[in-house]
Amino acid sequence: MELLSTPKNIEINNITCDSFRISWAMEKGDLERVTHYFIDLNKKENKNSNKFKHRDVPTKLVAKAVPLPMTVRGHWFLSPRTEYSVAVQTAVKQSDGEYLVSGWSETGDGDALMSPCLSPDYAKEHLAQLQEKAELIAGRMLRFSVFYRNQHKEYFQHVRMHCGNVMKPSLKDNSGSHGSPTSGMLHGIFFSCNTEFNTGQPPQDSPYGRYRFQIPAQRLFNPNTNLYFADFYCMYTAYHYVVLVLAPKGSSGDLFCRERLPQLDISSNKFLTCCVEEGELVYRHAQDSILEVIYTEPVDLSLGVLGEISGHQLMSLSTANAKKDPSCKTCNISVGR
């Protein structure tokens, strides 16, 4: 029976958030007749913990035979800052419609599994692309006066009893875009500011708890605060979320964001503004996006008011560790193309 040689000497480079460059060695005669390739990705720490579907990409889309090196693109659902192994299998589609396949590269080439991490952070230029997409759907600006944070009663009891009445920044989870440089890196406190268009007040429902802390907007956002764009995503729904960061000038959060995130003009942007009008600060938020605002410094509960909301706790709308829909054309970008 005719055999197809197993790919060897796999090399990966030019890694971006949604693509990587891959090459391998095969016997010359086999390389010229290969019509398909398959790529298998697994977390290095546990090969069986995260089995990915094989990528079956007919080479007729790019050439008669596999061009090496080649660029592989797609949304791989990779965890940030996690190393993955890669294995390759090739195939030849025969005249009868059946496939002649090679062995998987890992079976004969263990060194091929030592691939680098395939989930680097978005660079500033990638976030700028994401920002442009978010601006297209931001909608008109509505006035608001308070930032608010919903949590369970136990959260605020803990803050009062064990944290000196001060909410402290915590590490951002992995929600949103897989390439967001804030995930697992930036410490902050999540606030909301969206209002109901018919009342101008915060909604009475919340995914995060029935107790709401409200703080006057000027306490967190003023001319001594820098504003940064951090992310734009959806969770397989019509709702789109924009993540912004508020960082007092010169703070550690400000220094972190300055190197990694696009900075916004606080008085003129499509998402969240602070302007002086008739001698007072006036605040507006985008109507058609749900804003998630990360404030990078501790916040004392004495600066605001805590109370219970009258609406429902809509758990299904929680964005905690939410995974971005990779098929949405509205909030995804082509990285490295």
We report the CATH number of the domain holding residue 104 as 2.60.40.10
The strand pairing partners of 166, in sequence order, are: 300
CA distance linking residue 181 with residue 169, whole number of Å = 17
Most confident of 109-123, 168-182, 258-272: 258-272
Strand pairing class (225-233; 305-308): unpaired
Instruction: Name which of 235, 230, 134 is nearest 179 in CA terms.
Output: 230
At 313 the pLDDT is: 61
Work out the percent of the chain whose per-residue pLDDT is above 90. 46
At 42 the pLDDT is: 66
Instruction: Name which of 69, 74, 73, 76 is nearest 42 in CA terms.
Output: 76
At 51 the pLDDT is: 40
At 92 the pLDDT is: 85
Do the domain assignments include residue 265? yes
State both tokens at 166.
């001060």
CA distance linking residue 139 with residue 287, whole number of Å = 5
At 16 the pLDDT is: 55
Residues 177 and 280 in one domain: yes
Span 33-63, pLDDT tens digits? 888 887 776 666 554 444 433 343 333 333 3
The strand pairing partners of 170, in sequence order, are: 188
Residues 25 and 97 in one domain: yes
Instruction: Name which of 201, 248, 261 is nearest 221 in CA terms.
Output: 248
Residues 104 and 165 in one domain: no
Amino acid at 324: K
Residues 133 and 110 in one domain: no
What is the SS3 assignment for 213-250? EEEEHHHHCCCCEEEEEEEEECCCCCCCEEEEEEEECC
- The structural domain count of the chain equals 2
Do the domain assignments include residue 331? no
Q: Which residue has the higher pLDDT, 278 or 84?
A: 278
Residues 202 and 287 in one domain: yes
Do the domain assignments include residue 91? yes
State both tokens at 9.
């000497």
Residues 131 and 264 in one domain: yes
Beta strands in 94-186 (DSSP E): 99-101, 141-144, 146-151, 166-167, 170-171
Alpha helices in the chain (DSSP H): 28-33, 105-108, 124-136, 153-162, 217-220, 252-260
Span 216-253, pLDDT tens digits? 999 999 999 999 999 999 988 888 999 999 999 999 99
Residues 62 and 26 in one domain: yes
Residues 94 and 201 in one domain: no
Phi, psi dihedral angles at 50 (to 5 degrees):
-155, 75
Span 55-75, pLDDT tens digits? 433 333 333 345 667 666 554
* Containing structural domain, residue 92: 8-114
Residues 273 and 218 in one domain: yes
Span 143-201, pLDDT tens digits? 999 999 999 999 999 999 999 999 999 999 888 887 889 988 999 999 999 998 888 89
DSSP 61: G
**Please, what is the end-to-end C-alpha distance for the chain in angstroms?**
41
Residues 243 and 131 in one domain: yes
Whether the model pTM is above 0.85: no
30 in helix, strand or coil? helix
93 in helix, strand or coil? strand
Residues 132 and 107 in one domain: no
At 47 the pLDDT is: 47
Residues 162 and 238 in one domain: yes
